């Protein structure tokens, strides 16, 4: 009895583990981001546990659903039939639409029909010939292989996105402390949202400090690159591609709510994480089932601080590589409806005005503006966290920070553009001449990749002599 129970548990775990491996491979093919083998290590225990439960259930119901002669001659085959049918029923009942009773009824009918059909098939010579695949020895060997693959996946490095392209070799002899580049793209943030551009509220104390320590462009202009793409998307992805070909580490982070096209953004980045998308792990069946059973709440990942937490984790991994890096962070838009976090929501609300009035019919324009400014302040707090983290990691003084913004519509007014790198550019500069984001990023990328001299491009007037 105990031997058969262990056989059922191991067989269920192996079959579920194999199903999880196949599902993960299919999801990796459909998921256009970088490939992290460590996810397999994280999800395998869940699949093994779920499979063990199916194996135990099959062991319990096997006497009622199978003949004694079949169980005695080929117990593994009978258990495998029940496990596979049970797993298929669970998937069918959870993934079909309709009332729970209807879904369970459909799953039960399909299970009975499948069980009878498989009994007839496996009673043939062909069916019995594959019975050895479900023997106790095969089950335990398969379990060991799955566990070994989990340990191996834990040790493997992240595989770059297929869109990343070729990575060149970095010549470390040029500089003991290479210059890095970080682009902060604030979707929908206009100049008149920020106090450093003269807005009457103190919405951006950290951004103001960056402007004081760097270069503030007062007249940023947009140069359309193509009819079907957003200029910022093309510029940032082209910058990533150029720097990666020069041996740089590249990573992109987005929290959605932006005009960026994800597929286009991926080009050039070894890693690209879109926090607004359902995570790769949550695209798999067993993690989804866990979320339903345990009532896990899907956290609001579309917050600036989440992007910065992810960015800092990536930056820490770069500390000992000795290679320059390019990091692009696409933050969410300050577009209605405005829903700042609780820590900033009431910061700019006048006395007697409630946040709920911004969502009334009609909305209170005073409340709407106050919540919009609170969202800008929330973004500013996240940028402050990033700057402090760069300082702690000793990256701040040799990292060029570019703060720009993507307009949410073609009629948007002037967008901010700030450049900070005290070691290379004059702090406190104010540029009133028309300057394009295209010119600044193209010049920076060409200079950092060693393909042009900074004195011969758009940055020559602000560079330290």
Write out the DSSP string of 74-103: -HHHHHHHHHHHHHHHHHHHHHS-S-HHHH
Q: Output phi, psi for 168, to 5 deg.
A: -80, 180
Residues contacting residue 150 through CB under 8 Å, at least 6 positions apart: 40, 41, 44
Residues contacting residue 387 through CB under 8 Å, at least 6 positions apart: 206, 210, 396, 401
Q: What whole-number distance in Å separates Cα of residue 153 and Cα of residue 45?
A: 13
Q: What whole-number distance in Å separates Cα of residue 373 and Cα of residue 357?
A: 15
* CATH number, domain with residue 446: 3.40.720.10
Q: Are residues 274 and 384 in the same domain?
A: yes
pLDDT band at 265 (very low <50, low <70, confident <90, very high): low
Q: Are residues 247 and 374 in the same domain?
A: yes
Asked, for residue 198, whether it belongs to a domain, the answer is yes
Q: Is the pLDDT of residue 225 over 70?
A: no
Q: Is the pLDDT of residue 213 over 60?
A: yes
Q: Are residues 284 and 207 in the same domain?
A: yes
Residue ending a domain, among 106, 139, 155, is: 155
The burial of 155, by beta-carbon neighbours within 10 Å (0-12 exposed, 13-18 middle, 19 or more buried), is given as: exposed
Going through 101-200 in order, the beta strands assigned E by DSSP cover 180-186
Asked, for residue 167, whether it belongs to a domain, the answer is no
Q: Is the pLDDT of residue 5 over 60?
A: yes
pTM: 0.70
Q: Write out pLDDT tens, residues 156-195.
A: 887 776 666 666 666 655 555 668 999 998 877 888 889 9
Half-sphere exposure of 65 (CA within 13 A, CB side): 23
Across the chain, mean pLDDT equals 77
What is the model's pLDDT at position 465? 45
Q: Are residues 261 and 341 in the same domain?
A: yes
Q: What whole-number distance in Å separates Cα of residue 424 and Cα of residue 178?
A: 12
Q: Are residues 101 and 135 in the same domain?
A: yes
Q: Are residues 126 and 201 in the same domain?
A: no
Asked, for residue 14, whether it belongs to a domain, the answer is yes
Number of domains forming the structure of the chain: 2
> Which structure tokens are listed for 68?
């004694």
What is the model's pLDDT at position 70? 60
Residue ending a domain, among 115, 139, 155, is: 155
Query: What is the pLDDT averaged over residues 451-462?
Result: 55
Asked, for residue 429, whether it belongs to a domain, the answer is yes
Q: Are residues 128 and 190 in the same domain?
A: no
Q: What whole-number distance in Å separates Cα of residue 421 and Cα of residue 402?
A: 9
The top-scoring range by mean pLDDT among 11-25, 270-284, 351-365 is 11-25
Query: What is the pLDDT averaged over residues 339-365?
Result: 84
Greater model confidence, 138 or 288: 138
Report CA Rg, the chain: 28
Q: Are residues 288 and 328 in the same domain?
A: yes
pLDDT-wise least confident of 237-241, 356-360, 371-375, 402-406: 356-360
Q: Is the pLDDT of residue 204 over 90?
A: yes
User: Range of 141's domain?
Assistant: 2-155
pLDDT band at 278 (very low <50, low <70, confident <90, very high): low
State the DSSP code for 198.
Answer: T
Greater model confidence, 394 or 59: 394
pLDDT band at 228 (very low <50, low <70, confident <90, very high): very low
Q: Are residues 17 and 66 in the same domain?
A: yes
Q: Are residues 147 and 230 in the same domain?
A: no
The SS3 call for residue 289 is helix
Query: What is the pLDDT averaged over residues 366-382?
Result: 90
What is the model's pLDDT at position 434? 82
């Amino acid at each position: 009895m105990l031997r058969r129970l262990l056989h059922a548990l191991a067989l269920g775990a192996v079959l579920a583990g194999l199903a999880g491996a196949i599902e993960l491979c299919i999801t990796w093919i459909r998921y256009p981001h970088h490939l992290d083998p460590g996810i397999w290590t994280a999800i395998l225990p869940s699949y093994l546990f779920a499979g063990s439960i199916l194996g135990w259930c099959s062991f319990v119901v096997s006497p009622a659903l199978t003949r004694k002669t079949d169980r005695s001659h080929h117990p593994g085959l009978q258990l495998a039939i029940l496990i596979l049918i049970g797993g298929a029923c669970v998937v069918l009942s959870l993934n079909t639409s309709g009332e729970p009773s209807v879904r369970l009824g459909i799953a039960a009918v399909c299970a009975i029909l499948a069980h009878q059909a498989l009994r007839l098939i496996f009673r043939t010579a062909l069916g019995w010939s594959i019975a050895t695949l479900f023997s106790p020895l095969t089950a335990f060997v398969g379990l060991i292989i799955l566990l070994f693959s989990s340990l191996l996946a834990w040790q493997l490095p992240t595989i770059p996105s297929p869109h990343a392209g070729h990575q060149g070799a970095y010549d470390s002899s040029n500089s003991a402390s290479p210059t890095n580049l970080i682009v902060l793209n604030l979707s929908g943030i206009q100049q008149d949202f920020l106090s450093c551009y003269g807005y009457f509220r103190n919405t951006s104390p950290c951004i103001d400090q960056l402007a004081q320590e760097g270069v503030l462009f007062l007249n940023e202009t947009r140069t359309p690159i193509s009819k079907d793409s957003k200029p910022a998307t093309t510029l940032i992805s082209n910058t990533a591609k150029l720097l990666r070909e020069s041996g740089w580490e590249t990573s992109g982070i987005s929290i959605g709510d932006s005009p960026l096209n994800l597929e286009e953004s991926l080009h050039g980045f070894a890693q690209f994480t879109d926090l607004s998308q359902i995570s790769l792990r949550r695209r798999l069946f067993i993690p989804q089932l866990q979320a339903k059973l345990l009532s896990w709440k899907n956290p609001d990942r579309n917050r600036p601080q989440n992007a910065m937490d992810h960015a800092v984790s990536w930056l820490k991994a770069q500390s000992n590589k000795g290679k320059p890096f390019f990091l692009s962070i696409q933050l969410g838009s300050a577009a209605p409806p405005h829903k700042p976090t609780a820590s900033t929501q009431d910061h700019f609300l006048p006395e007697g005005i409630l946040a709920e009035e911004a969502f009334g019919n009609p909305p209170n324009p005073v409340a709407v503006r106050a919540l919009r400014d609170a969202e800008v302040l929330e973004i500013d707090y996240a940028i402050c966290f990033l700057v402090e983290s760069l300082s702690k990691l000793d990256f701040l003084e040799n990292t060029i920070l570019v703060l720009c913004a993507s307009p949410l519509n073609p009629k948007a007014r002037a967008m901010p553009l700030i450049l900070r790198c005290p070691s290379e550019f004059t702090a406190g500069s104010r540029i009133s001449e028309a300057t394009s984001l295209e010119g600044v990023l193209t010049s920076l990328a060409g200079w950092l990749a060693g393909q042009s001299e900074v004195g011969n491009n758009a940055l020559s007037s602000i560079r330290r002599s």
